[in-house]
């Protein structure tokens, strides 16, 4: 991989996760303060991520894999996303906001697979190379959080009351438009599916992959993934509002400690794979989730704030050791 391609892929990953981290972390807080959303409405808004993930295979399987280069679909989806994010910035009530966030998640979730596809297509050994590209996505998430808390102070108590968190959507709308245009300059990643073959709804939905469940190792990984996604959903939905409500200052900025940890452990992944293997690395990630919630249960914003900060810092092990390792494992 030459330096230009490495730079392109790194910037792609940076922007991909800067966009997501720039609004998703504070979404629960924004909905509560800006749109006076109920707890049920907030949960409904976060569930759009799941709907986007369910619909994503149609976009990937029926369009990207068969007819168009991955980088072009990536560009189109981010340009559409930029428009939707701008409309979300202008929303004044939940009834208007919800269809926009649903539409955005349907457009955004496929891009997570597309950036990986573009990256893997340029790599000879993903197990060694991918983490050094993917780490820039984590850096993008960190930068987004620091900008919100320490540059614009949008999550400060007074700013939350004034509704300034809405500007996070404007910020990421601009970033999404840039990434959309930039995507058309990325290395060409042609369709992988055979166009002469008849489109199968089973293959499009990825249901043919269920055959992999016959492999005991893959079955255990699948079941573990389903279970781990439950605490993951609670973490993204409730951590920022939780920290805000108990009086922790600069909650969005402090949450980037988790991404700093993620950068460190992302770079260490090749070592852990070589030293302990995929299985032990993934198990360590699962155990870290348990420890994290124990720390959250007993920590507070006073003398025990170190427990909250430690729980946040465990994100590197929680996310990298399970989800990034899983992405690499399933690509093999």
In order along the chain (332 residues), what is the average pLDDT of each group of 10 residues?
93 97 96 94 94 79 73 95 98 97 95 92 85 89 95 94 96 98 94 64 63 81 87 89 92 94 84 86 92 94 94 92 81 55
Greatest Cα pair distance, the chain, in angstroms, is 65
Say what the pLDDT of residue 216 is: 83
C-alpha distances (whole Å) from 308 to each of 53, 65, 248, 255 are: 30, 43, 10, 10
Q: For residues 105 and 53, what is the distance between their CA atoms, to the nearest angstrom?
A: 8
Q: For residues 71 and 55, what is the distance between their CA atoms, to the nearest angstrom?
A: 19
Contact 33, 160 (CB under 8 A): yes
**Residue from 181, 179, 148 nearest 23 by CA:** 148
Task: Extract the tokens encoding 238.
Answer: 């409730």
Say what the pLDDT of residue 187 is: 94
The whole-model pTM stands at: 0.83
Say what the pLDDT of residue 54 is: 84
C-alpha distances (whole Å) from 258 to each of 17, 112, 141 are: 14, 20, 10
Residue whose structure tokens are 């590209």: 133
Q: For residues 137 and 20, what is the distance between their CA atoms, to the nearest angstrom?
A: 10
Report the sign of the C-alpha dihedral through residues 65, 320, 45, 210, in that order: positive
Per DSSP, 121 falls in state T
3-class DSSP state for residue 207?
helix
Q: For residues 284 and 233, what is the distance between their CA atoms, to the nearest angstrom?
A: 19
- Which stretches of the chain are DSSP H helices? 3-21, 27-34, 39-46, 48-59, 70-90, 94-120, 126-146, 157-162, 167-183, 201-204, 216-245, 251-298, 305-313, 315, 325-331
Category of 215 on φ-ψ map: left (φ > 0), alpha (ψ -120 to 50) or beta? beta
**Residue from 237, 262, 265, 243 nearest 309 by CA:** 243
Per DSSP, 155 falls in state T
């Amino acid at each position: 991989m030459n330096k230009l391609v490495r730079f392109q892929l790194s910037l792609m990953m940076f922007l991909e996760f800067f966009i997501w981290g720039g609004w998703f972390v504070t979404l629960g807080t924004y909905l509560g303060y800006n749109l006076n959303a109920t707890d049920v409405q907030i949960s409904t808004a976060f569930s759009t991520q799941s709907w986007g993930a369910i619909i994503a295979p149609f976009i990937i399987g029926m369009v990207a894999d068969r007819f168009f280069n991955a980088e072009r679909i990536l560009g189109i989806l981010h340009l559409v996303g930029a428009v939707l994010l701008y409309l979300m910035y202008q929303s004044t009530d939940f009834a208007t906001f919800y269809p926009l966030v649903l539409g955005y998640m349907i457009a955004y979730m496929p891009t997570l697979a597309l950036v990986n596809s573009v990256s893997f297509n340029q790599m000879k050994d993903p197990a060694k190379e991918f983490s050094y590209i993917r780490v820039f996505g984590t850096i993008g998430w960190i930068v987004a959080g620091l900008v919100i808390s320490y540059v614009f102070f949008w999550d400060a108590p007074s700013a939350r009351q004034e509704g300034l968190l809405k500007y996070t959507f404007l910020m990421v709308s601009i970033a999404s438009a840039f990434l959309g245009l930039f995507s058309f300059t990325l290395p060409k990643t042609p369709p992988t599916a055979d166009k002469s073959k008849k489109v199968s709804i089973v293959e499009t939905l990825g249901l043919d992959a269920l055959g992999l469940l016959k492999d005991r190792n893959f079955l255990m990984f699948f079941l573990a993934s389903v279970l781990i996604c439950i605490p993951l959903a609670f973490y993204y939905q409730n951590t920022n509002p939780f920290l805000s409500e108990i009086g922790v200052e600069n909650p969005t900025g402090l949450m980037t400690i988790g991404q700093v940890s993620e950068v460190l452990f992302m770079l260490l992944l090749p070592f852990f794979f070589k030293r302990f293997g995929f299985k032990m690395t993934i198990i360590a990630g699962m155990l870290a989730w348990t420890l994290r919630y124990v720390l959250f249960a007993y920590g507070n914003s006073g003398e025990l704030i170190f427990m909250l900060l430690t729980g946040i810092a465990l994100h590197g092990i929680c996310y990298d050791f399970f989800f990034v390792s899983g992405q690499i494992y399933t690509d093999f």
